[in-house]
Amino acid sequence: MKMVDLHVHSLLSDGVYFPMELVRRAQVKGYAVMAITDHVDTSNISRVVPEVVKVAAEINRQVKEIRVIPGAEVTHPPAGSIKGLVKEARKMGAKLILVHGETLAEPVVSGTNRKALEAGIDILAHPGLISEEDFLFAKKQGVLLEISARKGHSLSNGYLVSLWRRLGGKLIINTDGHHEDDLFTETKYFNVGMGAGLTRPEVAQILKSTLSFAQSKLK
């Protein structure tokens, strides 16, 4: 089964590999689609996003086995600056925007989840103990809420699934990968989802929905 992973980091932020090497390693693992979503804030957005856009375009021209979506993860800014950073990243060509949510593992500014949802993002990464109000707002906005495979960020996966069962909405499963060892295999993908409390058919449906969503970002 082909994998889709819409939250991965390269050496342009805190990942291990240059973007082309990262994509090649994912290709060998059987990925169908990967989004490169390096961390950005006001200090580096004008450098990182154009580089990711350039690399994605080059790979998509020459490689047929894997598609690459140029993206960005807005990370740890003052909450009031999120909307401007999201707008700037899109203007530079990022097709997929994440915001680094209020994970239990890091001291993210309170209010980040809400400001991110108001900014028109695609994915709220590892949103921690997101409030029911913000969860419902994400549902209304069509924002995907992330079940994370990353250590620390994964602590609230079960809580997120419990809200989803009561309130509905859209979930996505991502690696938040920084190294080849972080990347998905089919077994790892399903284990992450089922470990969060999803059934195997529910995980399969999330994978199918994620592939469809990713393909829409490649048009």
4 forms bridges with which residues in the sheet?
A: 33
Residue-level pLDDT at 219: 86
Cβ neighbours for 151, distance < 8 A, ≥ 6 positions apart = 105
Q: Which residues of 75-113 are buried (b: 16+ CB within 10 A; e: fewer)?
A: bebebeebbebbebbbebbbbbbbbbbbbeeeebeeebb
Mean model confidence pLDDT for the chain: 98
Q: How confident is the model at residue 1 (pLDDT cuts 50, 70, 90)?
A: confident
Residue-level pLDDT at 35: 98
Alpha-carbon distance of 112 to 203, in angstroms, equals: 27
Average pLDDT score over residue span 119-142: 98
Show the beta-strand stretches assigned E in the chain.
Answer: 3-8, 31-36, 39-40, 67-74, 96-100, 123-125, 144-148, 171-174
Q: What is the pLDDT of residues 24-57, one digit of tens each?
A: 999 999 999 999 999 999 999 999 999 999 999 9
Q: What is the pLDDT of residues 166-210, one digit of tens each?
A: 999 999 999 999 999 999 999 999 999 999 999 999 999 999 999
Question: Structural domains in the chain?
Answer: 3-217 (3.20.20.140)
Residue-level pLDDT at 89: 98
The model's pTM = 0.98
